[in-house]
Amino acid sequence: MIRAIRGMRDLLPPDTERWHQVELAAREVFRRYGYREMRLPLLERTELFARGIGAETDIVAKEMYTFTDRHGDSVTLRPEATAQVVRAFLENGLARTAGVKRYFLIGPMFRYERPQKGRYRQFHQINCEALGSDAPELDVEVILLLVDILREVGLKDLRLLLNSLGCPVCQVDFRAELKLFLFDREGWCPDCERRRGVNALRVFDCKSSHCQKLLEGAPALIDFLCPDCARHYARVKELLGRFRVDFTEQPRLVRGLDYYTRTAFEVTALGLGAQDAVAGGGRYNGLIRELGGPDLPGIGFAIGQERLMEVLPAAAADVRRELVFLAYLGAAAKDRALALLGELRAQGLAALMDFDDRSLKSQLSLADRLEAAAAVIVGENELQEGAAQVKWLADSRQERLPLGELAGCLASRLKAHG
């Protein structure tokens, strides 16, 4: 038997139904905020991510699925969506009009990292990107959008972490101070030993508890903000307070990608252990220019769907779908059930039947395994009387309904109940 590749997993019913509900809820919130969907390729030129994410990030240095295609081009399965959205934004001329452009993307990403609970090599994200404005009000709108999605899907115990990474001007003095701090301490892991000389900010990203302990007392970027960045950050915090969004300032929060500037944020949830982030994002004001476009600012976030599903409350076990199962006895009843199948589906209901002439007991057992709401039984007596027997499987209640009115009656009852 051929098995799935390590770190790739199958999503099967009923889990896929829960995923679908989460995505529907996210789409509804995006609609209310005026965001429109992009659907983009899984495969991009490697240069896009190397330039956009940063060559010294763990993603580019260690985790990308990169290979050479038959024409000798280096291509990569997308490890994240922001650089890709910017590429599509520029290539398709979407930067030509004024105003904020709001997009979302839902789909799989790929990173070669150690598989663990809630983290896989193929994983899925819900991404938001807003391009074209540096206003702190947009930062707050994006954070409110994220919180609304997480609340809409049922996440209760969430915590918002907030920081400002400043701008390139702010970071000059900070990086110099941080470098002195890092070289004044020894015992870093091999990755941080390399990072402190190449990209000191990435040391904050280390997951090693030993390195995190060495970072105690490190300078905080928030203390180096220029006047413009300080005003921007103060306005973001003021507006979050006005909208009654609780947050915790986290001076070591840098995110894992080099393109972030100014506002950075994460949402954590109870129940995921040490790696408890379910979503994160921030500003990336230099990314569009870095990828060959105009100097436009941007901000966005990504929700990790696998990690989110780990902490969402389980669906109630006794909830049955709006599914009607047609059971029949005899050839004539089978033909009438086939017609009813089409009538029920025309009413917008999910309807199924078994075509293999099994016993009534076997058909009803199958209806129960499929978690149908109702089983409609059609036999010779029902055909003669012009009425079918309907069995409601949640409580075993039974009633008879006229065959000619069956589809409409079931549709109105099930939709009213749903």
Same domain? 347 vs 292 = no
Task: Report the alpha-carbon distance of residue 301 to residue 104 in Å, rounded.
Answer: 10
Considering the domain boundaries, does residue 193 fall inside one? no
- 273 pLDDT tier (thresholds 50, 70, 90): low
Per the structure block, which two tokens stand in for 32? 């209310």
Considering the domain boundaries, does residue 216 fall inside one? no
Considering the domain boundaries, does residue 206 fall inside one? no
Beta strands 101-110 and 36-37, pairing class = parallel
Considering the domain boundaries, does residue 399 fall inside one? yes
Same domain? 105 vs 161 = yes
Domain limits for position 385: 323-413
Domain boundary among 311, 331, 356: 311
3-class secondary structure, 377:
strand
The helix, strand and coil proportions of the chain, stated in percent and rounded to the nearest 5, come to: 40, 20, 35
Mean of the per-residue pLDDT values of the chain: 89
Segment among 248-257, 329-338, 399-408 with least mean pLDDT: 248-257
Task: Report the alpha-carbon distance of residue 26 to residue 49 in Å, rounded.
Answer: 26
Same domain? 98 vs 149 = yes
Considering the domain boundaries, does residue 298 fall inside one? yes
Per-residue pLDDT for 271 more than 80?
A: no
Domain boundary among 280, 311, 342: 311
In this prediction, residue 84 carries a pLDDT of 96
Greater model confidence, 36 or 222:
36
Per-residue pLDDT for 313 more than 80?
A: no
Same domain? 340 vs 381 = yes
Task: Report the alpha-carbon distance of residue 143 to residue 76 in Å, rounded.
Answer: 30
Separation of first and last alpha carbons in the chain: 41
- 319 pLDDT tier (thresholds 50, 70, 90): very low
- 338 pLDDT tier (thresholds 50, 70, 90): very high
Q: How many CB atoms lie within 10 A of CB 307?
A: 23
**Rounded average pLDDT over 39-53:** 90
Same domain? 285 vs 327 = no
Considering the domain boundaries, does residue 407 fall inside one? yes
In this prediction, residue 101 carries a pLDDT of 96
Same domain? 282 vs 339 = no
**Rounded average pLDDT over 231-236:** 97
Q: Token match 């979302």: residue?
A: 104
Of the candidates 81, 125, 126, 112, the residue with the CA atom closest to the CA atom of residue 7: 112
Task: Report the alpha-carbon distance of residue 296 to residue 31 in Å, rounded.
Answer: 24
Q: Token match 């663990």: residue?
A: 116
Number of domains in the chain: 2
Same domain? 282 vs 327 = no
Buried b (16+ CB within 10 A) or exposed e, 42-80: eebebebbbbbbbeebbbbbebbbeeeeeeeeebbbbbb
3-class secondary structure, 366:
helix
Cα–Cα separations (whole angstroms), residue 164 to 229, 247, 255, 356 = 8, 13, 11, 64
Supply the DSSP symbol for 116: B
In this prediction, residue 265 carries a pLDDT of 96
Cα–Cα separations (whole angstroms), residue 400 to 180, 270, 330, 371 = 82, 49, 19, 21
**Which stretch of DSSP H or E encloses residue 32?**
helix 15-32
In this prediction, residue 162 carries a pLDDT of 96
Percent of the chain at pLDDT above 70?
A: 94
Considering the domain boundaries, does residue 52 fall inside one? yes
Per-residue pLDDT for 27 more than 50?
A: yes
Per-residue pLDDT for 168 more than 90?
A: no
In this prediction, residue 98 carries a pLDDT of 82
Same domain? 146 vs 288 = yes
CATH code, domain with 235: 3.30.930.10
Same domain? 279 vs 374 = no
Domain boundary among 272, 289, 311: 311
pLDDT tens per residue across span 241-269: 999 999 999 988 887 667 788 999 999 98
Same domain? 263 vs 369 = no
Task: Report the alpha-carbon distance of residue 241 to residue 279 in Å, rounded.
Answer: 20
Same domain? 379 vs 281 = no
Same domain? 118 vs 21 = yes
Of the candidates 139, 382, 351, 148, the residue with the CA atom closest to the CA atom of residue 261: 139
Q: What secondary structure does DSSP assign to 234-295, as a single string? A: HHHHHHHHHTT---EE-TT---S-TT-EEEEEEEEETTS-SS-EEEEEEE-TTHHHHTTS-S
Say what the pTM is.
0.86
CATH code, domain with 401: 3.40.50.800
